[in-house]
Amino acid sequence: MKKVVIIGGGITGLSAAYEMQKAIETGKLVDYLLVEKEDRLGGKILTEKIDGFILEGGPDCFLSEKPWVGQMAEKLGIGNRLMGSNEASKRTYVFCDGRLNMLPDGLMGLVPTKIVPFALSPLISWPGKIRMAFDWFIPRKKTGEDETLGSFVTRRLGKEALDKIAEPLIGGIHAGDPDQMSLKASFPRFIQMEEKYGSLLKAMLAGRKNAPKPKPAEPGKPKKTFFMTFADGMGELTDTIASQLDKSKILTGKTVSKIEKRPDGSYMVHVEGMDPVEADAVIVTAPAHEAAKIVKDVDKTMADNLAGIPQATSATVNLAFKRSDIHKHLECFGFIIPISEGRKIKAATYSSTKWNNRTPGEDYILIRAFVGGARNQELVYQDDEALLKMVLDELRDIIGLTAKPVVHKIYRWEKGMPQYTVGHLDRVAAIEAKTSANPGFYVVGGSYRGVGVGDCINVGAQAVEKALAHVGAE
Ligand SMILES: Cc1cc2nc3c(=O)[nH]c(=O)nc-3n(C[C@H](O)[C@H](O)[C@H](O)COP(=O)(O)OP(=O)(O)OC[C@H]3O[C@@H](n4cnc5c(N)ncnc54)[C@H](O)[C@@H]3O)c2cc1C
């Protein structure tokens, strides 16, 4: 029987395995094996329950506008476990000039759509606000060449908008450096907005006019919010997929060391500590820098292009406090910090405000701080004690928090955030040209065409569709 080997058991690999499993259950004559180097499945999706706190090591949510997580949840039978964020507290602050400033209401992505709250906000100076308004008149860029997020925002909205909004808010999502990040790869929507409307402000206003009215939640379904998660955290998604897979087809704690192409067009997957596995198709979902190490024997140029995708190191630090120990607590989603402030944390999410059930009752507060990213990676490499002290010192300085955490947990993600730097899409196209030249070989995941959990589910499923066609099990 034809066999598909999936390498990596993060959300991309799990999505692929789920589709393979469904193919088998609907009578397709095909087999699969998923090989994961860690002892657990889930990759960067990592939720832990400690003393009744729900701690997220990696993603804490997904974007509901991308349909794939919701669709997967329905297929898994956990659609009723989806959970919206707490809209009543949907405020984010920017720590700027030594104090917290609320991001003005109506700021969609980068661009203000409500004049009054923006005009009244002290976040951006008056010269900065006027410079942002110039966007209305600045002609669109003529060449279709890629540019950095930094150059785009400075060109259209000015340097202050870059420093105080775009860099911390948007660059932060990717743990990226706006002066390196590719606009084409990370924010194609901004390019389309400029192309179609000639101005971000005009595009946003048009978008607001044409936006569909928010629908009330369907009976038995959670209200759809911009960010969503699962009642038991994002790990509920990966745990549920894993629970529905045939255990005999999953190998954990096993590292793939290399893949060879055989003269008949099939592949030999070498797994440390066991006999090689023959495969008719291979889906590599390991992050690009890890994939680079194992695909060399299939194609050296593909490996070089994979190695050329930089990855940034970061850490998330979960901290739980007794509410009574905190004198002043802002009911908000958290705050972000521009790099120009020179602080040692990038942002903090107030997890217990953003979501309703993250603590064992109302008496506690859960905060998640972010350290590292493209410009500050060295901070992640301190030992736990020093890293914890640094984060607590920062929270003391920024929000006046002096309480001792009752629970804390540090998650480090070494090379955990792929950086879509300028030229990224060309690198990905070059990788895909090489996979096309090797039928039955697919390289997909968060390193290439979207870091979001939904994107990963989608590309995992697409790879299976192609693999099934390749092995003749459509
Ligand atoms: C701190 C952090 C916060 C994030 N927040 C969000 C968020 O809020 N929302 C969102 O949508 N996205 C978020 N992301 C991004 C998202 O989590 C990732 O893009 C996504 O989980 C990647 O999934 P993946 O399966 O492609 O890769 P991974 O999760 O990295 O899985 C790849 C797997 O391959 C395994 N592997 C590697 N090499 C080998 C080998 N040689 N042999 C066998 N196995 C191997 C690894 O152990 C790993 O389990 C966040 C990421 C991080 C790090």
Residue 4 scores a pLDDT above 90: yes
Which residues, 6 or more positions from 350, have their beta carbon under 8 angstroms from its beta carbon?
89, 330, 331, 332, 333, 334, 365, 366, 367
Q: Is the CB of 452 under 6 A from ligand 1?
A: yes
Q: Which atom of ligand 1 is nearest to the CA of 256?
A: 42
Determine the average pLDDT of the residues in 249-278: 97
Distance from the CA of 459 to the center of ligand 1, in angstroms?
A: 13
| pLDDT value of position 159 | 94
| pLDDT value of position 305 | 97
Residue 62 scores a pLDDT above 90: yes
Distance from the CA of 311 to the center of ligand 1, in angstroms?
A: 12
Q: Which atom of ligand 1 is nearest to the CA of 451?
A: 19
| pLDDT value of position 389 | 98
Residue 22, classed as helix, strand or coil, is: helix
Residue 171, classed as helix, strand or coil, is: helix
Q: What is the pLDDT of residues 388-443, one digit of tens each?
A: 999 999 999 999 999 999 999 999 999 999 999 999 999 999 999 999 999 999 99
| pLDDT value of position 163 | 92
Distance from the CA of 310 to the center of ligand 1, in angstroms?
A: 15
Q: Is the CB of 11 under 6 A from ligand 1?
A: yes
Q: Is the CB of 23 under 6 A from ligand 1?
A: no
Determine the average pLDDT of the residues in 40-52: 98
Q: Is the CB of 317 under 6 A from ligand 1?
A: no
Rounded to 10 degrees, the C-alpha dihedral 89/91/92/98 comes to -100
Q: Is the CB of 46 under 6 A from ligand 1?
A: no
- Residue/partner pairs of 200-203 with CB below 8 Å, 24 or more apart: 200/110, 200/111, 200/135, 200/156, 200/157, 201/111, 201/112, 201/133, 201/135, 201/136, 202/136, 203/111
| pLDDT value of position 109 | 64
Q: Is the CB of 60 under 6 A from ligand 1?
A: yes
Distance from the CA of 258 to the center of ligand 1, in angstroms?
A: 20
Q: Is the CB of 418 under 6 A from ligand 1?
A: no
CB atoms within 10 A of CB 128: 18
Q: Which atom of ligand 1 is nearest to the CA of 13?
A: 25
Q: Is the CB of 372 under 6 A from ligand 1?
A: no
Q: What is the pLDDT of residues 307-356, one digit of tens each?
A: 999 999 999 999 999 999 998 878 899 999 999 999 999 999 999 999 99
269: confidence class by pLDDT, cuts 50, 70, 90: very high
Q: What is the C-alpha separation between 295 and 269, in angstroms, rounded? A: 10
Q: What is the C-alpha separation between 184 and 147, in angstroms, rounded? A: 7
| pLDDT value of position 106 | 67
| pLDDT value of position 407 | 98
Contact 102, 121 (CB under 8 A): yes
| pLDDT value of position 150 | 94
Which residues, 6 or more positions from 373, have their beta carbon under 8 angstroms from its beta carbon?
172, 175, 176, 177, 312, 314, 346, 417
Say what angle helices 188-197 and 200-210 make with each other, to 10 degrees.
Answer: 90
- Pocket probe mutation, ligand 1, options 19, 62, 251, 451, max atoms within 8 Å of Cβ: 451
Q: Which atom of ligand 1 is nearest to the CA of 294?
A: 41
Q: What is the C-alpha separation between 431 and 71, in angstroms, rounded? A: 29
Q: What is the pLDDT of residues 356-366, one digit of tens each?
A: 999 999 999 99
- What is the overall mean pLDDT for the chain? 93
| pLDDT value of position 317 | 98
Provide the b/e sequence for 305-339 (b: ≥16 CB within 10 Å): bbbbbbbbbbbbbbbbbeeeebeeeeebbbbbbbb
H/E stretch holding 108: strand 107-108
Determine the average pLDDT of the residues in 77-83: 96
Residue 317, classed as helix, strand or coil, is: strand
| pLDDT value of position 219 | 75
- With a pLDDT cut of 90, the percent of the chain lying above it is 80
Which residues, 6 or more positions from 463, have their beta carbon under 8 angstroms from its beta carbon?
16, 283, 442, 444
Closest CA to 116 of 108, 106, 103: 106
> Which of residues 169 and 295 earns the better pLDDT score?
295
CA 208 to chain centre: 26
Closest CA to 167 of 182, 187, 153: 153
> Which of residues 200 and 369 earns the better pLDDT score?
369
Q: Is the CB of 112 under 6 A from ligand 1?
A: no
| pLDDT value of position 82 | 97
Say which DSSP state 432 is in: H
Q: Which atom of ligand 1 is nearest to the CA of 444?
A: 26
Q: What is the C-alpha separation between 339 and 164, in angstroms, rounded? A: 9
Contact 68, 452 (CB under 8 A): no
Q: Is the CB of 135 under 6 A from ligand 1?
A: no
How far apart, in Å, are the Cα atoms of 55 and each of 395, 419, 424? 19, 25, 32
CB atoms within 10 A of CB 382: 15
Distance from the CA of 270 to the center of ligand 1, in angstroms?
A: 22
Q: Is the CB of 61 under 6 A from ligand 1?
A: yes
Q: Which domains does the chain have, with CATH numbers?
A: 3-38+237-309+421-470 (3.50.50.60), 107-210 (1.10.3110.10), 311-418 (3.90.660.20)
Determine the average pLDDT of the residues in 162-178: 83
Determine the average pLDDT of the residues in 467-473: 95
298: confidence class by pLDDT, cuts 50, 70, 90: very high
For 226, phi then psi, to 5°, come to -60, -50
Distance from the CA of 11 to the center of ligand 1, in angstroms?
A: 7
Contact 42, 239 (CB under 8 A): yes
Q: Which atom of ligand 1 is nearest to the CA of 44?
A: 29
Closest CA to 408 of 424, 389, 421: 389
Closest CA to 201 of 106, 125, 124: 106
Residue 157 scores a pLDDT above 80: yes
Q: What is the C-alpha separation between 444 and 136, in angstroms, rounded? A: 39
Residue 170 scores a pLDDT above 80: no
Q: Is the CB of 34 under 6 A from ligand 1?
A: no
Distance from the CA of 12 to the center of ligand 1, in angstroms?
A: 8
DSSP conformation letters of 257-288: EEEEE-TTS-EEEEETTS--EEESEEEE-S-H
Q: Is the CB of 370 under 6 A from ligand 1?
A: no
Determine the average pLDDT of the residues in 223-244: 96
DSSP conformation letters of 352-386: HHHSSSSSSSTTEEEEEEEEE-TT-GGGGGS-HHH
Q: What is the pLDDT of residues 89-141, one digit of tens each?
A: 988 999 998 899 988 876 666 666 676 677 778 889 999 999 999 999 999 98
Q: Which atom of ligand 1 is nearest to the CA of 315?
A: 1
